[in-house]
Every structure is written in structure tokens, then in C-alpha cells.
């Protein structure tokens, strides 16, 4: 793999998603409704990460960077697993209490 150095870029999308979660905290009281909203906010972050790692994984594969592709695929798997756990938490517990 070539030695590639890129300038660190600020991720405005992720910053906005985090701000959205903060606003949700400020707009709700402590309890199940806030928890349900925060799970949704966290899932937005996970989905953004899944899109990002999925894209990078495909690029690495197409460019023949097998080691990078494998690392990215492992991270992608972790992000999907986190999203699944959040879905389970919401469906089996928090959403019912929030309703």
C-alpha cells in the first residue's frame, strides 16, 4: 500500500448529528422519551459511520488494498452490530416506555 498522507478534515455532518443529540437533551426531560430520542440520534451516527466505512471498504477493495479493506470491513461490522443493539434496545425496552 502506498504511503498516503491526507490532511485531517473536520466532519461537519458528524458535528451536526452530535449537536442534534445535544438539542434533544435540552428539549426533553430525563426519562424514556429522551432515551428513545437519544437512541435514534445515536443510530443516525451509526448509519453515517456505516455509509462512510462501507464506501471506504469498497474503495479499498477496488484499489486492491486488501489489508486496509479487511480493517475497514471489521470496523463496518462493528458499526452494524452497534446499530443492531440500539434497535433491539429501542424495540424491546425504551420505545414501549416512551409511548
CB of 87 to Fe ion, least distance (A): 13
Q: Is 39 in the site for Fe ion (CB under 5 A)?
A: no
Alpha helices, DSSP H, located in the chain:
12-27, 32-63, 66-89, 95-98
Report how far residue 60's alpha carbon sits from residue 65's, in angstroms, rounded to the nearest whole number. 5
CB of 49 to Fe ion, least distance (A): 5
Work out the number of other CB atoms within 10 angstroms of the CB of residue 39: 19
CB of 46 to Fe ion, least distance (A): 5
Residue ranges in 73-92 that form contacts with Fe ion under rule CB under 5 A: 79
**Residues within the interface to Fe ion (CB under 5 A):** 46, 49, 79
Amino acid at each position: 500500500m502506498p504511503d498516503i498522507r491526507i490532511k485531517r478534515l473536520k466532519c461537519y455532518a458528524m458535528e451536526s448529528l452530535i449537536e442534534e443529540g445535544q438539542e434533544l437533551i435540552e428539549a426533553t426531560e430525563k426519562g424514556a422519551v429522551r432515551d428513545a430520542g437519544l437512541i435514534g440520534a445515536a443510530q443516525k451516527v451509526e448509519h453515517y459511520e456505516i455509509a462512510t466505512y462501507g464506501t471506504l471498504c469498497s474503495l479499498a477493495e477496488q484499489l486492491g488494498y486488501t489489508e486496509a479493506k479487511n480493517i475497514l470491513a471489521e470496523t463496518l461490522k462493528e458499526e452494524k452490530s452497534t446499530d443492531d443493539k440500539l434497535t433491539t434496545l429501542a424495540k424491546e425496552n425504551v420505545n414501549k416506555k416512551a409511548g
